[in-house]
């Protein structure tokens, strides 16, 4: 069932993926490895954000479950990035997690830019990882954030007009911030 959900997510069938993850989450006792459980919660949250319209509350529930069980610093940073994306899409004020430090953010950026993503990371459309890294690294480097956001925007390919509009607005804001002295 997870393979079906991943295939739906990667092929642009967001609603099918979100519905399948909703069923999968009820079966999480079948996964003995806590990293797999976290990965499923993060995949479910990501799929909920890609729904039309986005299911913000559902995504927040999945994120809360993933963050409460996060043991791996890589997955903790990934969850923080996904949480930042949820807040940005929702238009809520930004608040970076106090526990996330600069080395964790830069490690997330490094892994996001890697040719192959870590096997324990959620399977989501490749460009989404750039958005998460961009949102977290912005407080350290506007240039890096803008480059990562450009990669995210290119990956959207105009498939979802609302998401593309959101990405373009943030891209313009990052460009203005980079042009400021």
Tens of pLDDT, residues 21-51: 999 998 888 888 888 888 999 999 999 999 9
Token code pair at residue 22: 């909703």
Q: Any idea where the domains of the chain sit in the sequence?
A: 2-179
Q: Which residues of the chain fall short of a pLDDT of 50?
A: 181
pLDDT at 108: 93
- Structure confidence at residue 131 (pLDDT): 94
Handedness of CA 12, 37, 106, 177 (dihedral sign): positive
CATH number belonging to domain 2-179:
1.25.40
Q: And the tokens for 9? A: 């997510």
pLDDT of res. 156: 85
pTM for this entry: 0.88
Is residue 14 within 8 A of residue 51, CB to CB? The reply is yes
Cβ proximity of 121 and 70 under 8 Å? no
Number of CB atoms found within 10 A of residue 127's CB:
16
47 and 5 in contact (C-beta within 8 Å)?
yes
Contact status, residue 97 vs residue 50, Cβ threshold 8 Å: no
Contact 167, 153 (CB under 8 A): yes
Residue 181: predicted pLDDT:
42
Amino acid 98: pLDDT? 59
Predicted pLDDT at 73: 66
């Amino acid at each position: 069932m997870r393979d079906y959900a991943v295939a739906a997510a990667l092929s642009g069938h967001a609603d099918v993926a979100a519905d399948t993850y909703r069923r999968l989450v009820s079966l999480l006792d079948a996964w003995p490895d806590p990293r797999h459980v976290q990965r499923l919660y993060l995949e479910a949250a990501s799929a909920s954000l890609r729904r039309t319209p986005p299911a913000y509350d559902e995504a927040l529930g999945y994120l809360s479950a993933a963050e409460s069980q996060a043991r791996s610093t890589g997955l903790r940073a990934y969850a923080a990035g996904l949480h930042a994306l949820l807040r940005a899409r929702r238009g809520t004020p930004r608040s970076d997690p106090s526990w996330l430090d600069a080395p964790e953010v830069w490690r997330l950026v490094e892994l996001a830019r890697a040719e192959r993503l870590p096997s324990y990371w959620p399977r989501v459309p490749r460009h989404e990882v750039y958005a998460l890294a961009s949102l977290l690294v912005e407080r350290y480097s506007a240039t890096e954030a803008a480059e990562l956001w450009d990669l995210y925007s290119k990956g959207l390919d105009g498939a979802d007009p609302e998401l593309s509009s959101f990405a373009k607005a943030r891209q313009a804001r990052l460009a203005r911030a980079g042009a400021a002295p």
